[in-house]
Structure 1
Amino acid sequence: MRADAEDNRRALLEAAREIYVEEGTSVALDKIAKRAGVGIGTLYRRFPDRDALLRGVLVDLFESMSAAVRRAEAEARDAPDGPPAWEAVVRAVAGLGLGPTLPVIFRERFDLIDEPAVAAAMRGAITGVEGVYRRAQEAGLLRADVSFLEVQMLAGMLSQSGPSRPPMIDPETLTDRLVGILLDGLRAGPAHRALPGEPTVFSPLDPDDRAAVERAIAEENERRARG
């Protein structure tokens, strides 16, 4: 792919992510093209329809997670005295800004989870990230009373590029500080107080968990329809 074509693709994916969070997935495609700084024809050449763009956003997010895992593990091997891999993964997930994007898309289009490209990318990302966290818990680095889902949710909510950030504060600086606070609370150690309840467990790879999500989404949509 030519460099300019790849630049356009990345701009479209980033614009789509931003606008999905702001307005939902049914937003007009020409609005996404305008935000990306390209013509609508360029969008359709890269993504022939709305579903293709949604699939592209999801695959890109999950592949970015997988790439973050590979980088974190390589850096941990090359610099054993540096931060452990699980901490690098948490920082990477926070930087991706997954928190607002995935819930919006899956709440409106949970059926996309069964699209082959999305399912394959998601499986690779979840398997990789879960493996890093599990090995960290087994090594006594990550506290054992938190689940994979809880770590991911916390990391995903820390991106400070959105409207909740005070406008005078640099988003990267604030995200880095918030991640530092989170990591300090997640590191294994004797000073932790017991957490309430049991670890939150959910996996989109589990058919029963997915069925429960589908029921919950259907019930929520029904409540909204009733007003």
Structure 2
Amino acid sequence: MAGARLRADAERNRAALLTAAREVFGEQGLDASLDEIARRAGVGNATLYRRFPTRKDLIAAVFADQKAKHLELAEHALQEPDPWTGFLRYVTRLCELQATNRGLSELLGGVEGIDDERLTQLRTTSQRRATEVILRAQRAGRLRVDFTLGDLGLLMMANAGVLHRTDDPQAWRRQLTLLIDGLATR
């Protein structure tokens, strides 16, 4: 029965799996062991695969709320009275999210093969909002007029690279400061 409610124990197992997956993907990235996720959730592999038949299904369930948070960041930036401050806070917070969650970092950096309707819809909406954040800062004369949504994607990929190739957990902040300095109009 599609849409039927899960039994209480099945719902607990699902919630435990999502919590464990969020932790493991955050620590180890999207290629993390599904066995480890099941172990941390306190369930068997069969339970994991019954709830989430593929890795993609589990990733989509875990990161749909993270992408929703990404969308909230853009909404907050658009509500900020100063467009440049909104842009700076938006980009900084995106980079902070990447720095604290390896799986999200990989997802924001453009992982291939995670085609999920929820994630696609959230990605489309968040890209539209990100474009509004960018245009608003440009119209205020504070952000280079040639900066695009594609450049924001490259910035996120660069941040992911810094995060994964340095021993300094704060190196991304210096890199972001240098990038932002180059994006500001004079």
TM over 0.5: yes
Match in the other structure for 1:15: 24
Check 1:102–1:72 CA distance in 2 against 1; reply closer, same or farther (3 A cut): closer
**Cα distance in 2 between the residues matched to 1:94 and 1:53:** 23
CA distance in 2, matches of 1:130, 1:31: 38
Larger mean Cα displacement after TM superposition, 140-149 or 55-64:
55-64
Name the structure 2 match of 1:68: 73
Distance in 2 of aligned mates of 1:154 and 1:134: 17
- Kindly indicate whether residue 182 of structure 2 is the aligned counterpart of residue 185 of structure 1: yes
Deviation at residue 102 of structure 1 after TM alignment: 4.5
CA contact (8 A) 2:84 2:137 kept: no
CA shift at 1:91, angstroms?
A: 0.6
Change (3 A) 1:124 1:142: same
Shift of 1:87: 0.9
Question: Is 1:48–2:49 an aligned residue pair?
Answer: no
Shift of 1:162: 4.3
Which letter maps to 2:53? D
Alpha-carbon RMSD = 3.5
Which of 172, 177, 186 matches 1:175? 172
TM-aligned CA deviation for residue 144 of structure 1:
1.0
| Alignment CA distance shift 1:32-1:8 (3 Å) | closer
Q: Which residue does 1:119 correspond to in 2? A: 120
Q: Deviations over 1:27-75 (max 9, x none)?
A: 65213344xx32245973994322321212442342121021123334x
Q: How many equivalent residue pairs?
A: 169
For residues 143-195 of structure 1, give each alpha carbon's deviation from its aligned partner in whole angstroms, at most 9, with x where no partner exists. 012221112321343258844122xx3x1x32222221111111122xxxxxx
Alignment of 1:1-227 (within 5 A): 9-16=18-25, 18-21=27-30, 24=31, 28-34=33-39, 37-41=40-44, 44=48, 47-50=51-54, 51-74=56-79, 76-77=80-81, 80=82, 84-97=85-98, 98-102=104-108, 105-106=111-112, 109=113, 112=115, 115-159=116-160, 162-166=163-167, 169=168, 171=169, 173-189=170-186
Distance 1:148 1:96, change over 3 A: same
SS, match of residue 133 in structure 1: helix
Identity in percent: 20
Label 1:99 to 1:38 Cα distance change in 2 as closer, same or farther (>3 A): closer
User: Match for 2:107: what amino acid?
Assistant: T
Distance 1:83 1:65 in 2: 18
Distance 1:152 1:46, change over 3 A: farther
Distance in 1 of aligned mates of 2:108 and 2:152: 15
Q: Deviations over 1:2-51 (max 9, x none)?
A: 9xx86863441242355445xx4xx65213344xx322459739943223
**CA offsets, 1:92-144, max 9 Å, x none?**
221222553355631xx25x1xx321222112211111110111112211101
3-state SS, counterpart of residue 142 of structure 2: coil
Change (3 A) 1:139 1:104: closer
Using the alignment, how far apart are the partners of 2:50 and 2:86 within structure 1? 35
Q: Tell me the TM-score normalised to structure 2 length.
A: 0.70
